[in-house]
Amino acid sequence: AQKVTQAQTEISVVEKEDVTLDCVYETRDTTYYLFWYKQPPSGELVFLIRRNSFDEQNEISGRYSWNFQKSTSSFNFTITASQVVDSAVYFCALSESLLTGANSKLTFGKGITLSVRP
Amino acid sequence: NAGVTQTPKFRVLKTGQSMTLLCAQDMNHEYMYWYRQDPGMGLRLIHYSVGEGTTAKGEVPDGYNVSRLKKQNFLLGLESAAPSQTSVYFCASRRLAGGPYEQYFGPGTRLTVT
């Protein structure tokens, strides 16, 4: 069975600090996708990034970067120079065997609440 | 293009009442999902559908029923609401194949059962 662990539950930083959100996953599949979603105080879930199991390249998008390491089953998310608008709950999620209908489900971690103080 | 919409946004039920939550998507997605979100629990899958006329149980299906009579709609029903079903409910959809594989979420329905 697949599992996603986000050991950090709440993180508080001061604006402009860098912060890393950890995500560790478990799966027996060799083909899988990892995702990060953001849930701001308004409540909607916003897709941030998708990474497949064959692509271990790190990705940077503005102040956001993601580090995928299969050797440690981790997919960590770093926000550089954090801003108050980054305050949200961040979810890491895993989906196995996307080409098989029965396994098209997303398994979410419990989320990390990030508070960025001015 | 509205994406994924959910009706209603808020609802208060009394124990034992029934209701149906409606999810609609205009992206022609094959897969649709219903999740519930509870504090400290993340999102948990209730039921999902891989196509019109088909549904399957997720992680926490008890107390809920679903139907997918049209490709664009996915209904979640509570036949006899219980306080334990107080939660925020999210609907999501995604394409069958050919990417991208991320799920797109609706804005959520906040349900309180008293």
Question: A5 is written with which tokens?
Answer: 């662990």
DSSP A17-40: --EEE--EEE-S-SSEEEEEEEE-
Determine contact, residues B32/B23, Cβ cutoff 8 Å: yes
Residues pairing with A69 in the sheet? A74
> Residues near A37 by Cβ (< 8 Å), separated by ≥ 6?
A45, A46, A47, A48, A90, A91, A93, A108, B105
Look up tokens 């029923």; give the residue: B65
Pairing mode, if any, of strands A24-26 and A3-5? antiparallel
pLDDT value at B11 more than 70: yes
- DSSP single-letter state for residue A99: T
Radius of gyration for chain A, computed over Cα atoms and rounded to the nearest angstrom: 14
8 Å CB contact between A34 and A92: yes
Nearest to B101 among A33, A108, A109 (CB): A33
Give residue A95's pLDDT.
Answer: 86
First to last CA, chain A: 41
Q: What is the pLDDT of residue B114?
A: 96
A96 to chain B: closest CA residue: B101
Average pLDDT over residues B12-28: 96
> Could you give the maximum distance between any two Cα atoms of chain B, in Å?
44
- Check residue A25 and give its pLDDT: 97
Each residue of A102-115: pLDDT tens digit? Answer: 456 789 999 999 99
> Testing the interface with B: which of A49, A89, A105, A113 to mutate, by most B Cβ within 10 A?
A105
Q: Taking a C-beta distance cutoff of 8 angstroms, is the pair A62, A47 a contact?
A: no
CA-CA distance, A33 to B68, in Å (whole number)? 26
- Do residue B42 and residue A108 have CB atoms under 8 angstroms apart? yes
Q: What is the rounded average pLDDT for all residues in chain A?
A: 90
At B26-81, the pLDDT tens digits run 999 999 999 999 988 889 999 999 889 999 999 999 999 999 999 999 999 999 99
> What pLDDT does residue B10 have?
96
B97:A99 CB<8 A = yes
Structure confidence by residue, pLDDT tens digits, B73-110 = 999 999 999 999 999 999 999 887 665 578 899 999 99
Arithmetic mean of pLDDT, A5-33: 94
Distance of alpha carbon A110 from alpha carbon B14, whole angstroms:
28
Q: How far apart are CA A58 and CA A23, in angstroms?
A: 15
Contact A102 B48 (CB under 8 A): no
pLDDT (0 to 100) of residue B36: 97
Phi-psi region of A42 (alpha: psi -120 to 50; beta: other; left: phi over 0): alpha
pLDDT at position B2: 77
Q: A101: pLDDT confidence band, cut at 50, 70 and 90?
A: low
Residue of B nearest to A111 (CA): B42
Count H helices and E strands in chain B, helices first. Answer: 0, 11
Find the closest chain B residue to A89 by CA distance: B42
Q: B95 touching A, CB under 8 A? A: no
Tokens of B29: 């997605």
Q: Tell me phi and psi for residue B85, to 5 degrees.
A: -95, 5
Confidence at residue B1, expressed as pLDDT on a 0 to 100 scale:
67
Q: Residue A99 — pLDDT band, cuts 50, 70, 90?
A: low
- Closest CA of chain B from A82, distance in Å: 23
